[in-house]
Structure 1
Amino acid sequence: MNSSPSPSSSSSSSSSESPQQTLIPGLPYDLAALILSFLPYPYHGTLKSICKSWNHFFSSRFYHSIRHKHIPFPKTSHLLCIFPQDPSVCSPYIFDPIHKAWSTLPLMPCNPHVYGLCNFVSVALKTHVYVLGGSLFDTRSFPLDRPSGSSYSFRYSFVTKSWETLPPMLSPRGSFACAAGRDRIVVAGGGSRHTMFGAAGSRLSSVEMFDVGRNEWVGLEGLPRFRAGCVGFMVGGEEEFWVMGGYGESRTILGVFPVDEYYRDAAVMRLENGGGGVGAGKWRSVGDMWEEGERRQLGRIAVVEDGGAGCPGVFMLDKNDIFRYDMNSNRWWKETTLPKRAIDESAVGFVALNGELHVMATHNGAGSVENRRLRRHKRLTSLFIQVYHPGKRIWRTLTAQPPFQQPLDFKTAVMCTIRL
Structure 2
Amino acid sequence: MVPPLSSDEFGVQTLTLIPGLPNDVGALILAFVPYCHHARLKVTCKSWRRFFSSKALISLRQNYVVAPKLLCIFPQDPSISPPYLFDPKNMWWCPLPLMPCNPHVYGLTNFISVAVGPHLYVLGGSLFDTRSFPLDRPSPSSSVFRFDFAALSWESVSPMITPRGSFACAAVPERGKILVAGGGSRHTMFGAAGSRMSSVEMYDIGNDEWVALDGLPRFRAGCVGFYIGREFWVMGGYGESRTVLGVFPVDEYYRDTVVMEVMNGGKWRELGDMWEEGERRRLGKIVVAEGEIFMLDRGEIFRYDKRSNRWAKETCVPKKVSDDASVGFVGLEEELYLLTLLNASASASESTRLRQHKRSSTLLMQIYNPGQSRWRSVVVKPPFHQSLDFRTTVMCPIRL
Q: Secondary structure at the match of 1:55?
A: helix
- Equivalent in 104, 109, 115 of residue 118 of structure 1: 109
- Equivalent in 75, 99, 104 of residue 84 of structure 1: 75
- Kindly provide the CA deviation profile for residues 24-55 of structure 1, in whole angstroms up to 9, marking residues without a partner as x: 56766444433332222233333334444332
Determine whether 1:66 maps to 2:60.
yes
Quote the Cα distance in structure 2 between the aligned partners of 1:223 and 1:69. 36
TM-score by length of 2: 0.93
Q: Contact 1:267/1:286 (CA < 8 Å) preserved in 2? A: yes
Counterpart in 2 of 1:404? Answer: 384
Matches within 5 A, 1:115-264: 115-181=106-172, 182-236=175-229, 239-264=230-255
Counterpart in 1 of 2:326? Answer: 347
Quote the Cα distance in structure 2 between the aligned partners of 1:316 and 1:193. 23
- Equivalent in 271, 280, 284 of residue 286 of structure 1: 271
Quote the Cα distance in structure 1 between the aligned partners of 2:18 and 2:382. 31
Aligned residue type for 2:319:
K
Quote the Cα distance in structure 2 between the aligned partners of 1:363 and 1:119. 25
Q: Contact 2:256/2:272 (CA < 8 Å) preserved in 1? A: yes
Quote the Cα distance in structure 1 between the aligned partners of 2:388 and 2:78. 14
Q: Secondary structure at the match of 2:128?
A: strand
- Equivalent in 34, 49, 52 of residue 55 of structure 1: 49
Q: Alpha-carbon deviation of 1:104?
A: 1.3
Q: Secondary structure at the match of 1:406?
A: coil
Quote the Cα distance in structure 2 between the aligned partners of 1:41 and 1:205. 40
Q: Which runs of 5+ in 1 are unaligned?
A: 274-279, 307-311
Quote the Cα distance in structure 1 between the aligned partners of 2:364 and 2:354. 16
Q: Which runs of 5+ in 2 are unaligned?
A: none
RMSD: 2.1
Q: Contact 1:5/1:29 (CA < 8 Å) preserved in 2? A: no
- Kindly provide the CA deviation profile for residues 361-383 of structure 1, in whole angstroms up to 9, marking residues without a partner as x: 112479465653x56x45x6211
TM-score by length of 1: 0.88
Counterpart in 1 of 2:375? Answer: 395
- Equivalent in 304, 308, 311 of residue 325 of structure 1: 304
* Closer, same or farther: CA 259–368 of 1 in aligned 2, 3 Å: closer
Aligned residue type for 2:302:
F
Quote the Cα distance in structure 1 between the aligned partners of 2:20 and 2:106. 53
- Kindly provide the CA deviation profile for residues 221-247 of structure 1, in whole angstroms up to 9, marking residues without a partner as x: 1111000000111121xx211100000
Q: Contact 1:4/1:29 (CA < 8 Å) preserved in 2? A: no
* Closer, same or farther: CA 314–26 of 1 in aligned 2, 3 Å: same
Determine whether 1:13 maps to 2:6.
no
| TM superposition outliers: structure 1 runs of 4+ over 6 Å | none
